[in-house]
Amino acid sequence: MKILLLDAEACGVMRVKLADLLLDAVAHGASPDPAAIPHGRHVQRYWEDVGAAIAAGTRVLLAATHDGALLGTVQLDLCQRPDGDHLAFVRALMVHSRARRRGIGGVLLRAAEAEARALGRGELRLVALAGSGAEALICDLGYARAGDAASAMAEYTKTLSMPEAA
């Protein structure tokens, strides 16, 4: 398995595989809101928006691949607030249903942490459906729950150890 850092051009080239991944993830429970299930041009528009954010330097897209197959992706939104240059938000961790339960989500999340660290982002935040497999993974990787414990969508944070300046 390879973890690739995709630029905006690669996002466009891989749009069919990315669309398939998004549709599969949502069909297998990635979204708690059935009305949010994307289709047709909404899927294409989603990945166009991701590509535009990558080109603007506000987002990072990592992909797990094996033998040409796209297994999963994770995104980092880089906080743009003046006081947020240390912060990134993990978004859309998706693993294709045929590749689940193989540790790919953990590999992607650790790769996102490494990329955040390389970009000087020492704090990560993310949201997961309470009680989901994703939540179990997040806890196993050392994320701490923040916010309302009774909420259906759980908020998590993690402070990354940063390399010391030379």
Domain residues for the domain of 120 are 2-159
Length of the chain: 166
Please give the full DSSP string across 49-109, using - where no structure is assigned.
HHHHHHHHTSEEEEEEEETTEEEEEEEEEEP-STT-TTEEEEEEEEE-GGGTTSSHHHHHH
Which one is predicted more confidently, 156 or 154? Answer: 156
CATH number for the domain that contains residue 115: 3.40.630.30
Q: State the sign of the Cα–Cα–Cα–Cα dihedral 56, 57, 62, 67.
A: positive
Is residue 33 over pLDDT 60? no
Q: What is the pLDDT of residue 147?
A: 73
> For residue 164, is it within any domain?
no
For residue range 92-120, list pLDDT tens digits in order: 899 999 998 899 999 999 999 999 999 99
Whole-model pTM? 0.90
- 34-55 pLDDT, tens digit each: 455 566 678 888 899 999 999 9
Question: For residue 143, is it within any domain?
Answer: yes
Going by the DSSP 8-state scheme, the letter that residue 48 receives in this structure is H
pLDDT for 58-92, tens place per residue? 999 999 999 999 999 999 999 999 998 999 999 98
For residue 165, pLDDT over 70 is answered with no
Would you say residue 115 lies in a domain? Answer: yes
- Classify residue 104: in a domain, yes or no: yes
Q: Is residue 139 part of a domain?
A: yes
H or E stretch covering 23? helix 15-27
Residue 15 lies in a domain: yes
Structural domains of the chain, count: 1
C-alpha pair distances (Å), 114 with each of 49, 60, 89, 105, 139: 24, 12, 13, 14, 18
